[in-house]
Amino acid sequence: MLFKRNKGKIHFSGRKHSVLGIIATIIAVLVIAGFLAISFISGVNHGNGGFILGIVGLILFIAAVAGFILAYRSFRKKDIFYIFPIVGIALNGLMIIVLFIIYMVGI
């Protein structure tokens, strides 16, 4: 009790959050929001979204691939916290799979 240490005050590592990981996570959130928006618009139109929603879906797919690549690159950095790269790679990977399946079913 007399020599109680506070582990929160001592911080020896120079770890910080990866900027690429944060950007990848932001891209993933925007891709998910865009996917929900075009899904809602397509549902309101009873599946007749048209050409523009298809183009937006392809742009979202490309953005998800870019976010996945950024998250992968952020793993190669040293002395970083890995929470944002993990979230970014997981969400972007999931959206790549979902958007690719929808694209293949649409063909």
When divided into structural domains, the chain yields a total of 1
Rounded (to 5) percent helix, strand, coil in the chain: 70, 5, 25
Decide if pLDDT at 107 tops 70: no
Decide if pLDDT at 12 tops 70: no
User: Is position 1 within any domain?
Assistant: no
Residue 1 DSSP label:
-
User: Is position 11 within any domain?
Assistant: no
pLDDT in tens, 13-32: 677 878 889 999 999 999 99
Instruction: Find, among 47, 62, 48, the residue nearest to 95 by Cα.
Output: 62
Q: How high is the pLDDT of residue 77?
A: 81
User: What is the domain range of residue 88?
Assistant: 19-106
Q: How high is the pLDDT of residue 62?
A: 96
Decide if pLDDT at 99 tops 90: yes
User: Is position 57 within any domain?
Assistant: yes
Decide if pLDDT at 7 tops 80: no
User: Is position 8 within any domain?
Assistant: no
**pTM, entire model:** 0.81
**CA angle in degrees (0–180, nearest 5) for 56-61-66:** 125
